[in-house]
Amino acid sequence: MYATNWRCPPYGPLNDVLEVHLKKTLCFLFAVYTGASIAAFAQEPASAPANPITTSEKGFYTLVTGQVIAAAEKMPEDNYSFKPTPDVRSFGQLVGHIADAQYGFCSAVMGEPNPMKNVEKTKTSKADLVSALKDAVAYCDKAYAGMTDAQGGQIIKLMSFDVAKLTVLSVNTAHADEHYGNMVTYLRLKGIVPPSSAGRPASSGQGQK
């Protein structure tokens, strides 16, 4: 059973960019989960996780980045240079940009120098970009590994703002989801069904990725 007619609400003018990103993420994730089989929700977990906030954040991150990687893998090599319009990133540059952001956000959370910069500007082939993206996601997995909810509440600097570590990771998830939406557009323009829609019943509704 699928919720094929679910819609994300329109967004009004918001001054807080982070709030926009987080709302987009929650909207997408709710749409994904309501599209799943209701039977899956009938199964209650055996026990609550020790750190529910961190566990939830990691689950959302894994969901979003899994779709991002799948989209990068699904686009043919020939289309990595594709731009819908001349003034936007190519698909390959988009993949590189997402990888760069993973390293930037997660190195801040771990309190260490960014180990990999300028993926977008230094890699062009599909193989190199997909590999870099997977490495970036694996790097962020380390930021979640061993983290507790208490540790996630520790304040760090992000672009001159004082922000909790788990909030930084949440922004990273939102950023990846935002650009997954871009990837969907690129794929659709090339007649390719994006990963988040593959296997779903055809629907005339809008608002789905």
Q: What are the tens digits of pLDDT across the range 84-127?
A: 999 999 999 999 999 999 999 999 999 999 999 999 999 999 99
CATH architecture assignment, domain 17-189: Up-down Bundle (1.20)
- pTM for the structure as a whole: 0.76
Domain chopping of the chain, boundaries: 17-189
- From CA 173, how far away is CA 59, in angstroms rounded? 10
- From CA 78, how far away is CA 171, in angstroms rounded? 31
Task: Tell whether the model's pLDDT for residue 182 goes beyond 70.
Answer: yes
- From CA 172, how far away is CA 164, in angstroms rounded? 13
Better pLDDT: 69 or 49? 69
Cα-flanking dihedrals φ and ψ of residue 20, to 5°? -60, -50
Indicate the burial class of 116 (C-beta count within 10 angstroms; 0-12, 13-18, 19 or more): middle
